[in-house]
Amino acid sequence: MSNESVIVLQVEQGGDRLDRWIADQLPDLSRARIQKLIEQGQVTRNGQVCQSKKDTVQVGDRIHLTIPDATPLDLPAQKIPLDVLYEDDDVLILNKPAGLVVHPAPGHEDGTLVNAILAHCPNLQGVGGVQRPGIVHRLDKDTSGAIAIAKTDHAHHHLQAQFKAKTARRTYLAVVHGAPTADTGMVDQPIGRHPGDRKKMAVVSPPATGRSAITHWQVQQRMGNYSLLQFGLETGRTHQIRVHCAFIGYPIVGDPVYGSRRSVGVNLPGQALHAWKLRLQHPRSEEWIEAIAPLPDYFQTLIRVLEQRASQ
């Protein structure tokens, strides 16, 4: 039985190339993947198969993408140490270290979190699909912290629905360059592919080329020209916190893509961004679970060093 999915998009602002426009609407699909789908006849516009990636979209166009079944990956189970925050027969919540890729992809065929959890949970293979067994949300490679894994199909559907409805809540902590004048704030800026670098995301203008993205922030600690901020998300766009922080002028310390090259004198594996707290409803009992992921040692060291500098 086919598990192919169909995505329907409505063009609200025309004039852009077909492949570029689709990439802006669907950041999780690479432009190369979109071009391949066009070549394979999997993209239609107003009921007609699109012949060229260079076609120009027009206001009112309806674009249909058919995403075929993914070719199954032969995912080896690998005994990689896991920091378990919560586990029962339905749900596993882990404290992911920075540097660990969540699921296999070109360049990271193994040694990922998925390989580790397949060793930890041998019956997980196939839950939620062969490509990303058990995965219901993402964390960037160099972002540490709490991530939930579904251990059954029922749990997978239940948790995915919570993340989609935003009833599952994620709270992040980050150390940023700068000292906001206010103690709290909100960034409401659409995010899409960076117009000049397809590997990056950016706040895009006009908004029609991006997807709505809302980030709430609150100062937890001031350390001279650095600040520890807490974040809550209303949306879950790729690199959302990192992009929004850079946009408002407070890039995350250690961010190799969106941050400043300024050294802080502490060896960091990447951006100082940590998924600190995860709150979700248990898919079977419907009781609320709150898992807190302790800050990594390097993150605590960074705060301590910045505190000392600020006090001098």
pLDDT digits (tens, 9 = 90+) for 11-59: 988 888 999 889 888 876 777 788 989 998 999 999 999 989 999 999 9
Q: What is the pLDDT of residue 241?
A: 97
Query: Would you give the distance in Å from CA 117 to the centre of its chain?
Result: 19
pLDDT at 229 exceeding the cut of 70? yes
* pTM for this predicted structure: 0.77
Query: Per residue in 170-198, pLDDT tens?
Result: 999 999 999 999 999 999 999 988 888 87
Interatomic CA distance for residues 18 and 56, integer angstroms: 6
As a whole-number percent, the residues of the chain with pLDDT over 70 amount to: 93
Q: Is beta strand 144-150 parallel, antiparallel or unpaired with respect to 273-281?
A: parallel
Angle at 28 between CA 160 and CA 299, to 5 degrees: 75
Question: Is residue 206 reached through a cis peptide bond, with omega within 30 degrees of 0 on the bond before it?
Answer: yes
172-275+298-311 maps to CATH 3.30.2350.10: yes
Query: Per residue in 91-144, pLDDT tens?
Result: 999 999 999 999 877 777 789 999 999 999 987 766 665 556 788 888 999 999
Residue of 24, 140, 142, 255 marked active site:
140
31-39 helix and 18-25 helix, angle to the nearest 10 degrees? 130
Lowest mean pLDDT among 4-13, 80-89, 103-112, 146-155: 103-112
Looking at the chain, the domain(s) classified CATH 3.30.2350.10 span: 172-275+298-311
For the chain, what is the mean pLDDT? 89
Predicted confidence band at 207 (pLDDT cuts at 50, 70, 90)? low
Contacts by 242-249, CB closer than 8 A, 24 or more apart: 242/140, 242/271, 242/273, 243/191, 243/201, 243/202, 243/203, 243/213, 244/187, 244/189, 244/191, 244/203, 244/213, 244/215, 245/174, 245/176, 247/187, 247/189, 247/203, 248/185, 248/187, 249/178
Q: What is the pLDDT of residue 266?
A: 92
CATH of span 5-67:
3.10.290.10
The DSSP call for residue 207 is G
Is 86 in a helix, a strand, or coil?
strand
Looking at the chain, the domain(s) classified CATH 3.10.290.10 span: 5-67
Catalytic-residue membership of 140: yes
Interatomic CA distance for residues 61 and 291, integer angstroms: 44
